[in-house]
Every structure is written in C-alpha cells, then in structure tokens.
Structure 1
Amino acid sequence: MDATPYYHCVSRCVRRSFLCGIDPLTEQNYEHRRDWIKQKIYSLSQVYCIDICAYAIMSNHYHLVVHINRDKAYALSNNDVVERWQKDHKLPTLITRWLAGQLTSNAELEASIAIIDSWRSRLWNLSWFMKELNFDIACHANREDDCRGHFWESRFKSQALLDEQALAAAMVYVDLNPLRAGVANTPETSEYTSIQARLEALNNQQETAPCLHPFISNQNNEKLDGIPFRLMDYIELVDWTARQYRERKASLNSTMPPILKRLNISHVTWLKACTELERNRRSAVGCIYNLESAKHALNKKQIHLIRLDG
C-alpha cells in the first residue's frame, strides 16, 4: 500500500445466476441484492479506515474505488479500535473484560493489546475489507438460493491508482458503468452508483452522501482528508465523459442538456452548495513518471500500466 492509497476493485459473480437484477435465463428477480451490497459497503466503511470514493453495483459484479487511510487507523486509541471493531464483530471475552477493567495480570493485558493491535492492522487492510464484504453477501445469497459453494470469482481484482489523474479516471469509469452498459440514460438515473448518491445529497443540501469520501479543494496545499478535487469539477467531468462515443458502448445523447439544467439546480444554489461543502469538510493506472516508484513500493519488476499521459 506504499505506492498509493487509492485502488480500483472489482468482484464478479462466479455462478450463472445473477448477483443482482433479473436473470434472463430463469427470470428470477435478484434486484434486492443490490441493497445488500450497498448497505454492507456502508456498514464496513464505519468500521474500517477505508474510504469509499466511488461505487457501482451491476447485475453480476460491482466496482469500488477506495482510499486506504492507514494514518487514521494508527491515530486511533485502543478504545477507538475496539469500538469500531465491535460494530461488526463479536468481541472475545478477554477484550470485554479489558473494556470493563477486569483484567488481573500483565499477561492478560499484553494478550489484549496484541489482539487490539491485530485489529488495528486489519482496519486499513484492503484484503480484509473485501473478504468481509464478499463473505457476507455470499452467505446471504447461498441461503437464499439454498445451495453451497463459491459465489465469487476467486479473489477480487484491483488496480493501483498512482496519481490524481488515475483516481479521477477510475471514479468516472465506475460511475458511468450503468450508462455504458445501457441500463441507465443519465448519470443521475444510474441506480446504485456513487454519482447518483452524491447528486441526491446535493439536491437535499447535505454536506456529502452518506459514507462517501468527501471532495475537497486543495488550493492552499493543506493536507486535508478527502478527494483532491472540487465536486463541481467532478460532476462536470462525469457529464462530459458520458457524452463521448465509444464503440459498442452506450453514451449520453448529445442533445441532452447539461447536468445542472437536467437537475434543475440554479447556478447560485450550485455555487453556494459546493463552496459550503468544501469549506465544512475540508495491475495500476496513472502517469508514466510514477511507474518506477510504484514498482519499488509494490516490489514488482514489471507493472502493466494504463497510461493517462499519452
């Protein structure tokens, strides 16, 4: 994780039946499973120090763009770590006694701290996050389908996002997945995507969408906790990209009005919402000049890079 804190992750369903939506073979409706995934992503984001930048939940796979916040995990007190972990896990008796101040020996104390330290390491571990997400959904789906066996295609796939250009490209790619697949006509009607959640939050005059990493402006070069773009710029980037033609992929109709007009948001309201939001909540993708340092950080001799600088 030393190369970059940003990653694009994908998990695909291994079975013939659909993860979500309507299976065209059996005509069985699995639409409710989308909400399972969204709610589990949201709940895990409250436990782990892993921020959700973008997501899209499709019929047989889902995408995540995440930010691994290792510094946040190591800044937590031991009590904070336990409080987070118990939100989604049952605490062992030893830790329950540690919380209650009932330990009777140094050996018990050392064992408790060792357990808490292991949880702290897991709080910023992407593999643990994805494992818990996929395991929970697989168990739910297997119970519903009354079957056993693998639900996901082995391990999740991930791409390291080496710079801000890569982060923006991955987020836009994820947010436009439903439109490119032809199951949505506009970004704001793309169900179970982060762009829809962000736009709904904006319409409701909320600071940011629930459990999504906020956008910030780093004009003052301050080290702030958030995505290093302005929300306005990102939404316009999504809208522009959606209009571009790609062979065998759907695109936004060129006659469609700009996204702010489609959402019926005045420029005054838009500017006020964006400035207040930013003031209050202050293999790899990237540019070629980051490649060598990424190889060293990831301990790889070769990285297949999707270049963003030509």
Structure 2
Amino acid sequence: MKERGILSPSDLRKPFNKAVYAFMVLCVAVMVVTMLYPIAMTLFNGLKSNPEVNSFPPRFFPREWHLENFAKGWSYIDLATYLKNTLLIFAGNLIMTVLVLGLAAFSLSRIGVPYGRAIYFFILMTLFIPASSYLIPNFVNLKELGLLNTFWAFWLPAGASAYYFLLIKNFFDGLHPEIFEAARIDGASEWIGFSRIAVPLSLPIFGTLAIFIFSTAWNDWFWPSLVMQTEDKYTLATAIYKYVIGARSLDTNVKFTILFMAMIPPIFVFLAFQKFIMRGVSLSAVKG
C-alpha cells in the first residue's frame, strides 16, 4: 500500500503548490549536482592526458580515455599499505568505542554507579575544552608511554571521546529498563545485559558512530603525521598530503586518479552503514 504524501494529487494541481514543489525539486537537484560534481570532475580529470588536464579552457569530459592512469596512480605510492593502516586505525577505534565508551555509558545509564550524575556532568564539561588545548599533552603522554609510531596512539584516545560517550549514553537511556530487569531476574549478569541486550538494540547508534569514526580515520592527516614517524605507518590521508598534493614531478592527471581512488571507500562505507541511521529500534516485545 502506497503511503500518502504531504500533498495529495489534487493539491499538486494547484498553481501555487506546483510552483513551491518545483522550487523544492530544483533545490534538491542543485544540491545533488554540487555534491556529485567534485567526484565526477576528479574521475574525468584522472582519465585525461596530462596536457588536456592543464589546458584552458577546461573540458569536463576527456577527449581520449586514459585508463592506464589508474595503474600509474596505484603504483606511484604504496596505496595498499596506507589503506591497511587506515583500516586498522578505524577498526581499533571502533572496538575501543564499543567496549570502553559503551561500557562506561552502560554503567552510568543502567547500573547506577556512585556519583554517576557528577561523573556525567564532568564528562559533559570536557566538551567545552578546545581540542587544540590538549593536543600537546596527549602527544607528551604518548611519548612518555612509548606509544609513538604505534596504532595505540590512535586507539587509546578513541576511548576518551566525550561526544561519542554522550551519544551512546543518551541512546541507552531510551531503552526500556524492563528488558534489563527481566534479564537480571533470569540470572543474567551486567555483562550479559550489555553484550546481548544493549549492544544489539543499539546498532543504529553504533552504525552512526562507525561512519563518524571511519570519516575521522580516513580524513585526518595532521595527528598521524605527528605520532607516526616511519613511512610504513602512515595513513592514506597523510601519505596523500606528503607525497601527492605537493609532488611537483607527478603528472596532474595521475594526482587526480589517486585522489579519486581515495574517494571511493568512504562512499561504500556510508552506503553500508546508512541503514543503521534510518532504522529505529523496536521494543514492542516488552510485555506489560
């Protein structure tokens, strides 16, 4: 059965509603074009010859299609190693978020730890501290711990994100307490309540955080350039910044192919996790 929209077919026949609807469609079309244009421009510039990329006036579509540019871009830098490092950082950050922040949020939301409200407001207060103010202390702490040039330089700070903690806690607060009370009556421990009840019911928020964490791990180049001191530990964004953006000996069309290959994985990650953002949590199984 097709759901009725805001405007019925008879409403759309009115001139004013037609004009408003056409304006809305135009705005959506403009938004789509502005989002897709940089991706398409990067792709087509990567398929051009180098003289055509630097020619004026520029052409959107290439005169000749040079697919070999992608092979040149892939072999110019070790993209596979940098991609592996980025995915390792993403996986570790996601695990730390689920375990450390998830358990902390579950403790304050469902267990009722002592001084829980004071702890919650203390964590909330840290959101008002500029991130640049604790950049140097974090670096010094990691140096003293001997964790520079290791992935723990990313994984440990991931377990101290106040913003992600508050998102998880607010989601846990919305879960019906009857579910956890019934589990306790049946003899389930708090770990069982967290791992088998809270986490499965909270897949929407963890899916959303997975997108945020992946975007941060994929786009961040400044922090990896500080804590990673050898080339084999660089992330993809750091390698592109150091070896591609400022490379004068590299052809412009090959630069575009590398940049386009770096654009593709985030798109697929979003398509894989976006269903968790839209999906609601059904708790109708709770009996009164």
TM over 0.5: no
Return the index of the structure with the highest Cα Rg: 2
Higher helix proportion (structure 1 or 2): 2
With CA pairs under 8 Å and 6+ residues apart, which has the higher RCO, 1 or 2? 2
TM-score, length of structure 1 as denominator length: 0.22
Higher strand proportion: 1
